[in-house]
Amino acid sequence: MGIVTSILTIIPLILLPAIAYRVLIITDPKRNKPLRHGRQNAQEPTHLLIVLGSGGHTAEMMSMLERAVTDPDPKLKLNWKDYTHRTWVVSSGDSISAQRAKEFEEMATPLSTQDHLMAGKVKKATDIGPGKYEIVTVPRAREIHQSLWTSPVSSLQCTLECWKVLTTHTTDTRDGHLPQAGKTDFPDLILCNGPATSTILVFTSILLRFLNHRGCSERHKMRTIYVESWARVKQPSLSGKLLCRVVDRFLVQWPQLEKAVGGRAEYLGMLV
């Protein structure tokens, strides 16, 4: 065996386990979480990214969020201002989803202020602004009914756009990758529920963490929550099958599906 062949055999033998090990580490839900000092801390901005699909996906996501921010039980009630920056990702041409996101923002932020006032926290209600939100579009990963893997070109374009979306608030010039106090950064949390775009976005976030791009992995950015569609009772969707081993939380809405998926799947009641 020539020296070239042996090198060619040895390199993958060393590299592949190294890559696999790295992937296992960065997709382990038990990896460290960032240390935070309370909610709505101006020194520690938070960034939530939500992926909307079309039709049913958007309807379910909005229903879930509306239910969470209006829940009568304070323990279950989501305070929208806990997230100082919200990025909504919609597919190009989907003006309805963009409109729903805008309507939600206009409803949820005053609600949060109102909560603080009702609780007698006047300072919190007046000092903390509504935060910022942006609606960004990415090209469709695939047309409806087109399979995910027959569309490599559009998927690649979508991946590049997702990369841009995820890194848009980061810069290369940070000293030692430390976050700058008070500045928006990588998303802290990615919330999605199954459109093809969300699958690509989650895999892009894993790639970024794999490369520790701009320190995102060591700063514990981009934790992921996937909510399987309420319409999935017995079998997960394609996106669910692809993501169930790599997202940090995999929420299902029917008890029988928790068993069918196994692994990370959790049933915590209906969420929509």
What track of x and - describes contact with other proteins for positions 201 through 240 (by CB under 8 A)? -------------------x--x-x-x-xxxxxxx-x---
Query: What's the closest the beta carbon of residue 265 comes to other proteins, in angstroms?
Result: 13
Question: Which tokens is 32 given?
Answer: 């460290």
DSSP 194: -
* SS3 assignment for 138-169: ECCCCCCCCCHHHCHHHHHHHHHHHHHHHHCC
33 sits near other proteins (criterion: CB under 8 A): yes
Residue 135 exposed, middle or buried by CB count within 10 Å (0-12, 13-18, 19+): middle
Parallel, antiparallel, or unpaired: how do β-strands 189-192 and 223-227 relate? parallel
Query: Which of 26, 45, 46, 199 is close enough to bind other proteins by CB under 8 A?
Result: 46
CA distance 224 to 210: 15
C-alpha 223/C-alpha 206 separation (Å) is 10
Which residues within the stretch 102-131 sit at the binding site for other proteins (CB under 8 A)? none
- By CB under 8 A, the residues from 141 to 160 that bind other proteins are 144
Residue 42 found at the interface with other proteins (CB under 8 A): no
Given candidates 49, 52, 60, 200, which one binds other proteins under the rule CB under 8 A? 60
Q: Which is nearer to other proteins, 96 or 160 (CB)?
A: 96
Could you give phi then psi for residue 100, rounded to 5 degrees? -65, -40
Please report, for residues 144, 154, 163, the alpha-carbon distance to residue 151 in angstroms, rounded to integers and kept in the order given: 12, 6, 18
The nearest distance, CB 8 to other proteins, in angstroms, is 42
Place of tokens 């690509």: 200
Q: Which is nearer to other proteins, 22 or 77 (CB)?
A: 77
- Name the residue nearer to other proteins (CB basis): 142 or 161: 142
Given 27, 56, 160, 169, the residue binding other proteins (CB under 8 A): 56
Secondary structure letter of residue 179 according to DSSP? P
Number of shown-chain residues binding other proteins (CB under 8 A): 51
Nearer to other proteins, 7 or 35 (CB): 35
Of the candidates 198, 203, 163, the one whose C-alpha atom is nearest the C-alpha of residue 54 is 198
| Residues in 160-179 at the binding interface with other proteins, rule: CB under 8 A | none
Q: Name the token pair of 186.
A: 């990588």
Give residues in contact with other proteins (CB under 8 A).
33-36, 38-39, 46, 48, 55-56, 58-60, 63-65, 67-68, 71, 75-78, 82, 96, 144, 188-189, 191, 220, 223, 225, 227, 229-235, 237, 248-249, 251, 254, 267-272
